[in-house]
Structure 1
């Protein structure tokens, strides 16, 4: 076998560090290697053994840098990239003041194309190789995003956002168009290349019961699709849902009663959950996604990482409500929020959340986010001494984890030495 052999430190997992002690499931090799060929990982092991077994492979020696699965961003909004880090709003004000005006601009396909290209370029520059995005109500916004991802060979999840109330007139659809246009996109994109379609009601306040019911029927007819939405992000949002759905038992019930609760459901934020909601999410095997920079930036609250003992939990930037495209910064924010709740997440748990955990939440476990034979070869190589501040701290490290943690807490795109997508190094493809 020829292929490419990446050498450096490697980090993978044999299991979930929230279900077993991290020491038992984290696999670090100080001098490891990853053999890549025809878009997949063909072997992971000790560097010397792999070099001896595959003498014809092209060698890429990254020294003490860390080879990891590419990061998986499980919840974001590509149309909002131009408004990232806008000042001073809570959720409903953010939507009305920033999000809706920006999403309306994507009625112009050229604006949508610019946002998609910019978002994917920024993601890759920060080591993210898979992301799950909301689009806008415009059918072409999903087409354009999937096309831009396909041109890069990226695995992505996305869906046309559906809203038929409590939104500006130029951003409202109706139950029929939401169903039919989503169906058109499913037929065109779901399972094509590296694309997964997610049926996408923004959240129950912007969908009538009739629209939620139509989308529930669509999901029932297309059960291999994901369904992504928002759940219990802010307390005033939860109160609004109670007003809009007075007969519902809780926020989650506004989805459940219309067929929008299931194993392939992915629910963003999930901060202010009731005990019944947690129980039902666990019973059906649904996933929730932690968006820590967004939750802090717009004052949503403190996610309970203890949910990872019962639920599949992904990690996400939630740009543009989130304030960074970096999954390193997102891991740092997750650590800080967990500290405020009295828990110190280990670097192994943080790295797992940003790779295998997010992949599992998107039902891509074992496909991406995993450093193991047979997984798709999406990789990021991290310089663990990328800035003077990080380098001086890493130089004093007494263990690998002590060396990695400063990059998690202080790293950014400067830490990204190389990105591989589908077994090809991105830098080598740039003009």
Structure 2
């Protein structure tokens, strides 16, 4: 049974995208309190207004802390939890040296369940309430992730990774088994409680044209599913794709040709895009997922946030664990700021928070449910302590406004800044 609550503090709500305004903070509004009823946001306003709205509700006073929508991580690999921060490889060698040997283990339901729960423990501790995860080729890995998320009441998306070439024996499926397994998993999990299925070709080098075509056909049969993959992460990867698909106009065309370009498509990394690719992605309303800690950790390149936003792309933010080097969306926001500086477009604190909440929710087509604090939205929340360490506290004490007080936590904060996490109206 869910109870009613009132949270008092600095409650941040987005009224629009801060990227659409010359003054990013103008897209936000701060409230004194918020009300939660039946797992959803019931209202925003003064404490007195919320107490009039829910007279019997308990009041939880967070004083000077900042209350946000829970962080939304739009591109992760939960099976790589145990190999995060592995040394010294670029993409293809990294997959062969670390990723594929670890993913072999996920045919074991017990191991898959252990890592799924470990991953959700780690991300919840860092304020992340929704993730969109690649699993392994094993249906057991999908079952484990959805089972763990369902038990916690979380809204998540995930899918069985499909690969029928350029992967070791034991991590390859077939055209038929990729289709059949994915279809069975859709029927078992998609739309159950807060769970959504994402059709998941890892990337075009590990799928034959026949497998890509089969997954495109599956997506056409289930257009309400997400589709997630990788796109233009590293220059040598792009050259490999060109050698495998000599007739393709570009990397994106290896998906487009087989029905794997669409509005519910999620394309991780998208660093080295050609002009045609940018136009097609925007025309379809597809989502590009920025993975800054991963892109720097394995030497992929610098995402063009300024240029892509200016041309109207739909963009989310992600840790890309375990290619990314942190489970924390705070660390990911800091890395996004650093990448922006290197590209000549530093991001405002409001823009960073929007990317980690509403921006990622928009990428997942879940912005009507999560990613913002507004009446009717699901009550997934994080409460941030803006003075969580002595170093952050002494800088925040010098701040002349809230945004200057928030920024040190975005740059230097970690799980110590996470005071509370709420999932589906329950403090966890």
TM-score range, shorter chain: over 0.9
Paired position in structure 1 for 2:187? 187
Q: Where do 1:97-246 residues align within 5 Å?
A: 97-246=97-246
Contact 1:2 1:54 in 2 (8 A): no
1:126-164 Cα offsets, whole Å, 9 max, x none, are 000000000000011101100000000000000000000
Q: How many residues align?
A: 424
Contact 1:163 1:172 in 2 (8 A): yes
Contact 1:44 1:373 in 2 (8 A): yes
Paired position in structure 1 for 2:17? 16
Paired position in structure 1 for 2:55? 55
| Uncovered stretches (5+) of structure 2, i.e. residues with no partner | none
Alpha-carbon separation, structure 2, partners of 1:25 and 1:108: 47
Paired position in structure 2 for 1:333? 335
| Uncovered stretches (5+) of structure 1, i.e. residues with no partner | 427-431
Alpha-carbon separation, structure 2, partners of 1:23 and 1:323: 29
1:8-48 Cα offsets, whole Å, 9 max, x none, are 0111111111123423311123xx11101111111012223
Alignment partner for residue 394 of structure 1, among 387, 393, 396?
A: 396
Q: Where do 1:408-419 residues align within 5 Å?
A: 408-419=410-421
Matched residue SS, 2:19: coil
1:327-383 Cα offsets, whole Å, 9 max, x none, are 000000000000000011000000000000000000001201110000000000000
Residue 222 of structure 1 deviates from its aligned partner by 0.3
Q: Which contiguous aligned blocks of 4+ residues in structure 1 show a shift greater than 6 angstroms?
A: none
Residue 189 of structure 1 deviates from its aligned partner by 0.6
Residue 52 of structure 1 deviates from its aligned partner by 4.0
Matched residue SS, 1:352: helix
1:102-149 Cα offsets, whole Å, 9 max, x none, are 000112111111110000000100000000000000011101100000
Q: TM-score, normalised by structure 2?
A: 0.98
Q: TM-score, normalised by structure 1?
A: 0.97
Residue 401 of structure 1 deviates from its aligned partner by 0.2
Residue 67 of structure 1 deviates from its aligned partner by 0.5
Paired position in structure 1 for 2:35? 35
Alpha-carbon separation, structure 2, partners of 1:341 and 1:102: 34
Matched residue SS, 1:407: helix
Contact 1:328 1:411 in 2 (8 A): yes
Alpha-carbon separation, structure 2, partners of 1:350 and 1:282: 21
Alpha-carbon separation, structure 2, partners of 1:170 and 1:45: 56
Alpha-carbon separation, structure 1, partners of 2:102 and 2:20: 41
Paired position in structure 1 for 2:368? 366
Contact 2:232 2:238 in 1 (8 A): yes
Contact 1:71 1:130 in 2 (8 A): yes
Matched residue SS, 2:367: coil
1:166-206 Cα offsets, whole Å, 9 max, x none, are 00010000110000000000001111100010000000000
Alpha-carbon separation, structure 1, partners of 2:75 and 2:191: 19
Contact 2:108 2:140 in 1 (8 A): no
Structure 1 stretch 286-295 or stretch 47-56: which is displaced more? 47-56
Alpha-carbon separation, structure 2, partners of 1:308 and 1:97: 35
Paired position in structure 2 for 1:291? 291
Residue 2 of structure 1 deviates from its aligned partner by 6.9
Matched residue SS, 2:197: strand
Alpha-carbon separation, structure 2, partners of 1:270 and 1:10: 33
1:233-289 Cα offsets, whole Å, 9 max, x none, are 000000100000000000000000000000100000000000100000000100000
Alpha-carbon separation, structure 2, partners of 1:377 and 1:2: 12
Contact 2:3 2:38 in 1 (8 A): no
Contact 1:2 1:56 in 2 (8 A): no
Matched residue SS, 1:85: coil
Structure 1 stretch 344-353 or stretch 102-111: which is displaced more? 102-111
Matched residue SS, 2:94: helix
